[in-house]
Amino acid sequence: PYTTLFRSPLSVDIGSGSGLNHIIYVLNNSFHSNSSSVVRVVDRGNPLGTLVMRNNHFIFNGQFLNIPAGTVLDFKNTNNIFHTEAESTQFGATKANLFKFTSPTAPMVNAGLDLPAFFTTDRLGVPRPQGSKWDIGAYEYGGSGGSV
């Protein structure tokens, strides 16, 4: 999944039976959870080859990952930002606006890796980047895309 907003109690379940040659990308998403694991790898007997997680914004008060030992052979977890729900409100990211940050000083702004080989817009269709670099999470700051 990419440029998606996931809200509790929903989680992303990835089956480990996908196979050694498979690569699963989880890129530029915003995740919100109050209790359950946000990203969970379900053991289906065969380990997953590679799981790549980049540029995701995790807003959680519980566990954000549940990856049992041996279910993923190569786990690349880089350039993600983690906040509690209370911390996220400092940057204008609230339940009311589906956690779209509204502050130009939010740590997600211009902090992402550029990933144009995968997509070039945010959740609302705003072109990436709007600043010097891509933003972390499902939303690009400063864009005037569709409604949240």
Q: Are strands 12-15 and 48-54 parallel, antiparallel or unpaired?
A: unpaired
> For the ranges 31-40, 46-55, 81-90, 121-130, which has the lowest average pLDDT?
31-40
Does 146 score more than 50 pLDDT?
no
Give 38 or 9, the one with higher predicted confidence: 38
Neighbours of 77 (CB within 10 A): 14
> For the ranges 2-11, 46-55, 104-113, which has the lowest average pLDDT?
2-11
**Residue 88: strand, helix, or coil:** helix
Residue type, position 38, single letter: V
Cis peptide before 47 (omega within 30 of 0): no
Q: Which two tokens stand for residue 82?
A: 């983690």
Neighbours of 44 (CB within 10 A): 13
pTM of structure: 0.86
Give tens-digit pLDDT for 107-129.
Answer: 999 999 999 999 999 999 999 99
Average pLDDT over all residues of the chain: 83
Q: How confident is the model at residue 143 (pLDDT cuts 50, 70, 90)?
A: low
What sign results for the dihedral spanned by CA atoms 131, 102, 93, 10?
Answer: negative
Q: How confident is the model at residue 15 (pLDDT cuts 50, 70, 90)?
A: low
